[in-house]
Amino acid sequence: MIRSLQHCHRIVVKIGTSSLIHKNGKVNLQTIDRLAYTLAALNNQDYEVVLVSSGAIGVGLDKMHLTERPAAIAEQQAIAAVGQGELLRLYIQRFSDYDTQVGQMLLTHDTFDYPVSRQHVLDTLETLLQRSIVPIINENDTVAVDEMDHRTTFGDNDQLSALVASRIDADLLLVLSDIDGLYDADPHKFQNARKLEAVTHLGQDILQAAGGSSTRFGTGGMVTKLKAAQTMMQAGKAMVLCSGADPRVILRVLAGEDVGTWFGKNTATLNA
C-alpha cells in the first residue's frame, strides 16, 4: 500500500521519553539532532510542524545524576523543572544548527477546558506557525496534578498530541515510540506476530486487546496510542505510529512508504 500525502501540510509529531533517553539513563543526543534536522528540513519545505515532546523527567534525572524516579510528586515536579529547561536548551541548540527557531509551550488540561485560555493557546500556535517557528509542546509537569475540581493532567503526551492535532486541524499526527507499529500479537512471544499496515476502524476487539496481558499491548502504552488514533480518526484525520529510533523515518512516512501502522478511514490518500 502506497500512501499519498501530497495534500499533507500541517503535521504534529510526538516523541516519547524512550526515544530521547538511552537505556542507561543518558540523553540520546543523536535522536534529538536527527529530530531537529528532520523537522527543520520540513519547515524549509513550507510544512507547518508542531513537536510534542516528552522527556522532561528523564532529562532531569540525568542532569541531577539520579538513577531512580522518586515517588513523591513534589520531587518529580522538581526534577521536571530542571529537565524541561535542559531539554529545551538541547532543542534550541540543535534546531539553531539548522537555522530554525523554536518556541516552547507548556500546557495543562485546564488550558483546553476553559474557552478563553484555549483560544489564547490556539492563537499562539497559529502565530508561531505563520512565522515558521516550530512550537515545542509538553505538559507542564511542575503544576499538573489532578485535585478537587481541576483537571490539569492529560495523563500522557499521546493524548496531548492528539488533542493539539485535532484542535489545530492538523492533517497528520506522527507518533514516534519504542515500538514500530501495532501488532496482532506480541512479537516478543509469537514469531508469527503480524504488524498491521493499516487500521481503518478501531473496534472493541483491538481496544480490548490493547489492555490485555497476553499481548505486547499490555504495557498500557499502546492503549494511550490507540486512544490518540481514535481521536484523530473521529476528527477525520490520520495518525501513523512508528519507531522513534531514527526520527528521519518521518521523511519516509511523508514520502508515502509503508512505515509503521497507519490509522485512518482512508488509507490510500489524505485529504484528497
Annotated binding site: 14, 54, 141, 157, 177-178, 219-225
Yes or no: say if 10 and 169 are a contact pair by the CB < 8 Å rule.
yes
Q: Which residues participate in the annotated binding site for ATP?
A: 14, 177-178, 219-225
Q: What is the 3-state secondary structure (H, E, C) of the chain?
A: CCCECCCCCEEEEEECHHHHECCCCCECHHHHHHHHHHHHHHHHCCCEEEEEECCHHHHHHHHCCCCCCCCCHHHHHHHHHHHHHHHHHHHHHHHHHCCCCEEEEEECHHHHHCHHHHHHHHHHHHHHHHCCCEEEEEECCCCCCCECCECCCCCCHHHHHHHHHHHCCCCEEEEEECCCCCECCCCCCCCCCCECCEECCCCHHHHHHHCCCCCHHHHCHHHHHHHHHHHHHHCCCEEEEEECCCCCHHHHHHCCCCCCEEECCCCCECCC
Residues within the annotated binding site for substrate? 54, 141, 157
Q: Which of 221, 201, 200, 199 is nearest to 210 (CA)?
A: 221
Q: Write the CB contacts of 213 (distance below 8 Å, at least 6 apart in sequence).
A: none
Q: In what side-by-side order are the strands of the sheet with 10-15?
A: 102-107, 134-139, 48-53, 10-15, 172-177, 238-243, 261-263, 198-199
